[in-house]
Structure 1
Amino acid sequence: MLIMSRTLIVQEKLDRLIAGYSAYAETDEIIRLMKREITKLDFQVVCEHTENGCWFVPEY
């Protein structure tokens, strides 16, 4: 079984956002960590909550 670091997952998703791509998070913990890091960076994104997770889309 492969175990991935939550901080590494969040960092990879943040890198996608900064590059201009959208990112998707499924778990509540990853969504919470993403929101916290986005706030720290003062990065403007749109959060689209769905039944299964959350889309983060960068604003321009």
Structure 2
Amino acid sequence: MFVFNKREVADEKLNHLLEGYSVYAETEELIRLMNRRIQSQELDIIIDDTDQGCWFIPNY
């Protein structure tokens, strides 16, 4: 059984965003961490919040 560190997952997803890729987050905790990182780095990201999760799409 694998245990995921949510902060490491958020960092990996943020790196994908910085490379120009869209990323998806399912859990409220991961979405909160992603929003916090995006705001702290003042990134131009489109956030598509759905019932199932949240897409983060680079806007550049």
TM bucket normalised to smaller: over 0.9
Query: 2:19 — aligned with what?
Result: 19
1:45 matched to 2:45:
yes
- Cα displacement (A) at 1:45: 0.2
After superposition, the CA RMSD in angstroms is 0.5
Q: Tell me the TM-score normalised to structure 2 length.
A: 0.97
Identical residues among aligned pairs (%): 43
Q: Which runs of 5+ in 2 are unaligned?
A: none
Deviating above 6 A after TM superposition, structure 1's stretches of 4 or more consecutive aligned residues are none
Q: Tell me the TM-score normalised to structure 1 length.
A: 0.97
Query: 2:56 — aligned with what?
Result: 56
Q: Quote the Cα distance in structure 2 between the aligned partners of 1:6 and 1:50.
A: 20
Letter of the structure 2 residue corresponding to residue 12 of structure 1: E
Paired residues, number? 60
Q: Which runs of 5+ in 1 are unaligned?
A: none
- Cα displacement (A) at 1:33: 0.5
